[in-house]
Chains A and B, each alone.
Chain A
Amino acid sequence: MSQTLVRRIYVWDIPVRVYHWLNFLAITALAVTGFLIGDPPAFQTTGEAYTHYWFGTVRFVHFAAAFIFIFNFIFRIYWGFGGNKYASWRGFIPHSKAQLREILDVLKLDVLQRKGSPLISIGHNALAGLTYFISFLVFLFQAATGLALYSKMSGWFFAKWFAWIVPFMGGDEAVRQWHHVMLWFFVLFAMVHVYLVFYHDYVEGRGVISSMAGGWKFIEDEGRK
């Protein structure tokens, strides 16, 4: 019988989904306020300075969102060990031949659009996993440089742990510069990430987009290798 059997699989458990959307909200807030802090609009006003506080508020939102982002990320690292197999750290760091082969296959099939057999990873494919791993490194970099810049304003020991980064990178100006450069990584990442979930849903019809809401993906059984 040629009828394809479609099976639904519970892929993203609740902590992964909550992490994803909290991360989305935090990064959106951080990016918007980050660009504002980098290049604030200069309003003409007749008021006195003490009647305004909008830039202070922008910075507050940036710092508050940063702490949500950081602790959310720390939780996700833990869930890479405590969650189900699709949440596992193993999916992010290529450590087997099969994963390396899959990275090449994804590059050929999805990026260069060469002919080949369809790919059937249920969680992330290996290339996506690797990309997320790289983005995790950028998360760490942004968190560390951000806390380093913040450390002089903060009496909190947690921020103070990162104060050494400032002299290590050659001063606040250098840290600020690289913190701003990496902001663009998030912009590029978001563009490609959103495009690719649409792409995969469009081409494969496995419900990638809705999977981050409900957790379910739809897999053709006969396609399994």
Chain B
Amino acid sequence: MDNGPVTVYEHAMMKGYSRRDFIRMCTWLGALMGVEASGVGRIVKAMEVKRRIPVVWFHFQECTCCSESFIRSSHPMVADILLDKISLDYTETLQAAAGYQAEEALHQTMKNNYGEYLMLVEGSVPTAHNGVYCCIGGRSALDIVKEAAAGAKAIVAWGSCASNGCIQSSRPNPTSATPIHKIIKDKTIIKVPGCPPIGEVMAGTIVYLLTFDRLPELDSTGRPKAFYSRRVHDTCYRRPNYDAGLFVESFDDENARKGYCLYKMGCRGPVTYNACAVTKWNDGVSYPIQSGHPCIGCSEAGFWDNGPFYQHLASFPGFGIESTADTVGEVAAAVTAAGIVAHSVVTNIRKNKLHPNARPETEKTNESEGTK
């Protein structure tokens, strides 16, 4: 429940942070969101005067890795202020309330703040068989998401599940796991994909909504441009090895030890848009490629079906696990070559019969006209 007009700043003060700490957090968030230095003042102002936005955070078909990532976002105040104090009125995994009380809190928030609350969704929604595969409080996720979306001020789809279905929507998708934007079509869904998304990226998205009171600039697939406008490949510290043509060919080879590009190991960096190589993970410690593992493209739609992960080209649908487009192409080329050879042999056998006038000019006689 929302308990009065308290701002984020007031909460920080109550919690014992100094104003310096507070300003530092605002600057850090500003840098994270990519706002210019003059924009930091707006963040400070918003945090000082704006009433906290009531937030409902749903969990459907997911593994809670998004929540785990979020509560580990590296700046201590981020989790403390945003998660603890942004009036997070409903979130199944973290709330103290359970059962009737939890449901009551959700409905009170949605009723009292109709059109004002922020709706965060973690997980996809199964639509097969009227949505029986995911029910909370006796209602299907499909019902809940539709009801909550109607009064939401903004909707954020956390993680690949809510953004594009992730593993439960990969072939054959038995529960018809559906991302949120395919269910709620009349509102813009802010997608924050990744499995999980980077905690700082999640925090940055929420702060943007709190601060500027409008949607962040989104790319063509609905992801905030501040975090998803650049490819992992273009921001990767191993990129010079790619341009130089220095590639790892096996996880155990000399090139792997030298830290060459993982392109041939199936790295999805060139086709993946995320902030991994810039923001990194766990307080900037590392990210997959830095740890020697190719990117699996977890923030891209359908990444589970674009496997195997350790192969540059995805296997070609309908031709077995190991067949890539090249396998299919090589077979097609062999068949074509065989056809050409067969055709040329038959042509030579039948040449004179086929085209009588193709004989040498001196041999041409009346019969050539006779065949016409």
Q: Interface 1/0s, chain B 234-251, versus A by CB < 8 A?
A: 100000111111111100
Please tell me if B34 contacts chain A, counting CB pairs below 8 Å. Answer: no
Report whether B220 and A164 are in contact in the complex, using a CB–CB cutoff of 8 Å.
Answer: yes
Residues of B within 8 A of A174 (CB): 302, 306
> Chain A: which residue is nearest B300 at the CB level?
A171
Please tell me if B111 contacts chain A, counting CB pairs below 8 Å. Answer: no
Given contacts A163-B220, A184-B329, contact A53 B364 (CB under 8 A): no
Report whether A203 and B329 are in contact in the complex, using a CB–CB cutoff of 8 Å.
Answer: no
Report whether A42 and B264 are in contact in the complex, using a CB–CB cutoff of 8 Å.
Answer: yes
| Cα–Cα, bound, A152→B300 (Å) | 15
Given contacts A56-B243, A199-B347, contact A172 B270 (CB under 8 A): yes
Report whether B271 and A113 are in contact in the complex, using a CB–CB cutoff of 8 Å.
Answer: no
What is the interface residue range for chain B against chain A?
35 or more
Please tell me if B287 contacts chain A, counting CB pairs below 8 Å. Answer: no
In the complex, the 3 A-B pairs of residues with the closest C-beta atoms, listed nearest first = A55-B245, A184-B329, A172-B271
Contact for B344 among A111, A115, A195, CB less than 8 A: A195
Q: Interface 1/0s, chain B 29-69, versus A by CB < 8 A?
A: 00000000000000000000000000000000000000000
Report whether B297 and A49 are in contact in the complex, using a CB–CB cutoff of 8 Å.
Answer: no
Q: Interface 1/0s, chain B 127-156, versus A by CB < 8 A?
A: 000000000000000000000000000000
Q: In terms of DSSP, what is the predominant structure of the interface of chain B?
A: helix
Please tell me if A157 contacts chain B, counting CB pairs below 8 Å. Answer: no
What's the least CB distance linking B124 to chain A, in Å? Answer: 16
Report whether B313 and A52 are in contact in the complex, using a CB–CB cutoff of 8 Å.
Answer: no
Given contacts A55-B244, A172-B270, A172-B271, contact A195 B254 (CB under 8 A): no
- B-binding segment of A79-87, A123-131, A138-146, A175-183: A175-183
- A-binding segment of B3-11, B89-97, B352-360: B352-360
Q: Interface size on A (CB < 8 Å)?
A: 56
Q: Interface 1/0s, chain B 200-243, versus A by CB < 8 A?
A: 00000000000000000000110000000001001000001111
Which residues B339-372 have CB closer than 8 A to chain A?
340, 343-344, 346-347, 350-351, 353-355, 357-358, 361, 364-366, 368-369, 371-372
Report whether B372 and A117 are in contact in the complex, using a CB–CB cutoff of 8 Å.
Answer: yes
Report whether B329 and A187 are in contact in the complex, using a CB–CB cutoff of 8 Å.
Answer: yes
Please tell me if A214 contacts chain B, counting CB pairs below 8 Å. Answer: no
| Cα–Cα, bound, A147→B357 (Å) | 49
- A-binding segment of B71-79, B112-120, B277-285, B330-338: B330-338
* Contacts between chains A and B (CB distance < 8 A), count: 154
| Cα–Cα, bound, A53→B325 (Å) | 27
Contact for A204 among B241, B246, B355, CB less than 8 A: B355
Residues of B within 8 A of A41 (CB): 245
Residues of A within 8 A of B357 (CB): 4, 118, 220, 223
Which residues A28-47 have CB closer than 8 A to chain B?
38-45
A-B contact pairs, 18 of them (CB 8 A): A2-B368, A42-B246, A42-B249, A42-B255, A49-B241, A49-B244, A55-B242, A56-B245, A113-B347, A164-B220, A170-B302, A176-B270, A177-B313, A184-B329, A184-B332, A187-B329, A199-B344, A220-B357
